[in-house]
Amino acid sequence: MSGLHGLATRALRALDPEDAHGLAIAGLRLGLGPAGGPDDPILASSLASLALPNVVGLAPGFDKDAKVFAPMLRAGFGFVECGTVTPLPQAGNPRPRLFRLSEDRAVINRMGFNNRGLEAFAGRLARRGPGMVGANIGANKDSEDRIGDYVTGLKRLWGLASYFTINVSSPNTPGLRALQTRAALDELLGRLAEARDALPPAGCAPMFLKVAPDLEAGEVEAIVGTCLAHGLAGIMVSNTTVSRPALASRFAREAGGLSGAPLMALSTRVLGEFAQASAGRLALVGVGGIASGEDAYAKIRAGAGAVQLYSALVFEGPGLVGRVKRELAARLRADGFASVSEAVGAN
């Protein structure tokens, strides 16, 4: 981390985490973000029907309201996922709700799907230029028909987003993770598939399911089977964890989802379980704990066709994406791979 952007990152770390994030978004909207260079061809890949210029994506949560996807694409991300967006605006949980665990290179959040709502989100996506921009959709906390909220999001954003992620795995909306159970997930994905099949092709944006890393025995196989039954393209593995490994920070006992370095081992293990269960029938995206090219490579070797990061940006700043891509390209070549797809799940 060096130069102006490194200095800005260090200054932001001295502020309240949520205030710092707001200032970062404001700076990006003013054009103060970095510009990434050309992508190494070895990092280009196809994920489901998406032609990615590189396989390093920005995870949702950073750009909740689709305000800065263009600057983040310019910074070097191969794809940017915005959201989580809900049909109606909602304030989320009371502050403080975002905690920086510097000693652990981790973050705990209990944001609660705070966002400006579907209409504002759709208006910004409608004006987007080139590049892969996904929409992560969710349900309002007080909704009487949570599944209906997902259908509403899919219909409103159809033709505007490159792909959709169905977020049923946030720990910060009470009862949401219950949608991962077999019967509830079957109903949710069934209704979404019915809505999708009635919409015009509009590029046939693929749908992904975002899952928690905190799954019980047998749930991985059940989730894979349900996704396949309803024609989903893939699975994002994983969201934040409610588990608490040994942590040094004074914020270690805060409620919410834990992300960052302590999530790397757990999420990668669960990713491997999904890779084994899906046996190449679903595209997998590795998320959780990535802070280096070596981390990204570990996800790819575990079965991910692409990766996403977010929490490490809190500590490393926007220059992180360029370093991750350089390190990943070097590691692929060092191990004799000519492409990312050759390395996926390789032993």
Separation of alpha carbons 269 and 13, rounded Å: 30
Q: What positions carry a catalytic annotation? A: 170
Separation of alpha carbons 14 and 224, rounded Å: 42
Does residue 58 contact residue 81 with C-beta atoms inside 8 Å? yes
Separation of alpha carbons 135 and 137, rounded Å: 6
The residue with tokens 């969710």 is 138
Does residue 213 contact residue 207 with C-beta atoms inside 8 Å? no
